[in-house]
A = this chain, B = another copy of it.
């Protein structure tokens, strides 16, 4: 039903080799022949099979992308930017959303290998290291973003999580907060870095780091909400929370509200990622911005360099985060202090 190179060749009265050359724009072809062939291709609405060319050329011009959850705005945004960059470079992308299931991870990796992708990007929360090792062994380039697997020497591009955690915490401290807790995503390396940044900032500002103020949960609105409620109803509630991502921060906001705290007057919260959500929720979230676009584009570029063998050594790129102050943070007890002052007078 769909025309092949033979149909084009026959109708144009040339050999398939000639057609192939005009498709790929290489070899020497007479101007007229080229024009004629192009016209016929157009007429027939011919689309060269990438299956066939991939088979012979041993290159599919396709990369695989594994992400934990496409419905999560952070991953949707980063995936969109990878896709955009890939297409600029003439590559297509197979997007796989693992939903944090190990079974799916394995299925998808296998799928990508069967598809003979030229390379693969793994974004965060990928658990089965042996699967990656298998790809490497077979010579499939792999790049990582928003995570790191120290035992493997891989290309990575990520935001500087440590610094982000530091900035968030320092911001809260500079507003006069002393009781600052952090709620982070469970079991991911980037979280640990953010927590380290949090701790160092606390120490540096001369604030006490309490174990009970560091909690790890599932990265959902609900997780953030429940954790915040637990903290805020404890005997020594914090006045501010650094949440490990925007989703958690929104959960924290909801939890604070459930505890009758008004943000930012009674309580401050800062998020991480600066997704669409941060601008939409109320109050708009003070958050640590990841350069999402840049990460997505750059990881593709790095992978492509690796595929093309242009890399002498693995790249490990770390991009700077940036504090974006919106309305979920405020000077500690600004109101209350002034009231107090008034009363004391």
Chain A residues in the interface with B (C-beta under 8 A): 1-3, 45, 47-52, 54-55, 60, 69-71, 73, 76-77, 79-80, 83-84, 87, 92-97, 99, 104, 107, 110-111, 113-116, 134, 137-140, 221, 250, 276-277, 279-283
Contacts and interface: CB of A to CB of B under 8 A. Distances in A.
Contacts of A104: 87
Nearest to A82: B70
A214 to B, nearest CB: 25
Contact of A276 (B48, B50, B71, B116): B71
Contact of A139 (B2, B73, B107): B2
B94 A51 contact: no
B110 A47 contact: yes
How many copies of this protein are present in the complex?
2
A83 B75 CA distance: 15
A80 B70 contact: yes
B55 A49 contact: yes
17 contacts: A2-B138, A48-B114, A49-B55, A49-B116, A51-B51, A51-B55, A51-B116, A70-B76, A71-B73, A71-B76, A73-B73, A76-B76, A84-B99, A92-B111, A95-B95, A280-B280, A281-B281
Contacts of A276: 71, 73, 277
Contacts of A114: 47-50
A281 B77 CA distance: 19
Nearest to A47: B113
A54 B2 CA distance: 14
A73 B94 CA distance: 19
Given A2-B139, A47-B113, A51-B55, 10 more contacts: A2-B113, A45-B137, A51-B51, A51-B52, A55-B55, A70-B80, A87-B104, A221-B280, A277-B280, A281-B282
A211 to B, nearest CB: 30
Contacts of A134: 45
7 shortest A-B CB distances, which residue pairs? A282-B282, A47-B113, A1-B139, A76-B76, A70-B80, A71-B80, A47-B114
A250 to B, nearest CB: 5
A160 to B, nearest CB: 23
A79 B67 CA distance: 13
Nearest to A70: B80
A113 to B, nearest CB: 4
Given A138-B45, A282-B281, A50 B115 contact: yes
